[in-house]
């Protein structure tokens, strides 16, 4: 199945959790914010959310800014 992450399409195995996917991409979830279909998913809930075909995921990080 396919999901969109930050505007790009990615292939994932059915049954993958949000946490599992992010960890598979070597993302340190302590440093990011994650939204699923525009809803923010609290860090502690990432392991409870199973990805579905067509899901839109946003991964936001902190960058330098003024």
Partner 1 sequence: MADKLVQTGDELTIADRTFKSRLFLGSSKYPSFDVMVQAIEAAETELVTVAVRYMNLEEPEHEGVLDYLRRLDCQILPNTAGATTVKQAVRMAHLAREATGTHWIKLEVIGDERTLWPDTAMTVEATKILVQDGFVVLPYTSPDLVAAIRLEEAGAAAVMPLAAPIGTGQGLLDWVGIRRIVERVTVPVVVDAGIGVPSDACRAMELGVAAVLVNTAIAQAQDPVAMARAMKHGVIAGRDAYRAGRMPVRYEASPSSPVAGVIQERAEHAAPWRAAP
64 binds partner 1 (CB under 8 A): yes
- CA–CA dist 6, 37 (Å, integer): 11
Shortest distance in whole angstroms from residue 30 CB to partner 1 = 9
- CA–CA dist 8, 30 (Å, integer): 22
Q: Which is closer to partner 1, CB of 1 or CB of 27?
A: 27
Shortest distance in whole angstroms from residue 57 CB to partner 1 = 10
Shortest distance in whole angstroms from residue 1 CB to partner 1 = 17
């Amino acid at each position: 199945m396919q999901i969109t992450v930050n505007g790009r399409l990615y292939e994932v195995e059915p049954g993958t959790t949000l946490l599992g996917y992010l960890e598979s991409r070597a993302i340190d979830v302590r440093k990011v914010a994650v939204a699923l279909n525009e809803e923010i998913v609290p860090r502690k809930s990432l392991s409870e959310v199973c990805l579905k075909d067509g899901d839109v995921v946003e991964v936001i990080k902190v960058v330098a800014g003024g």
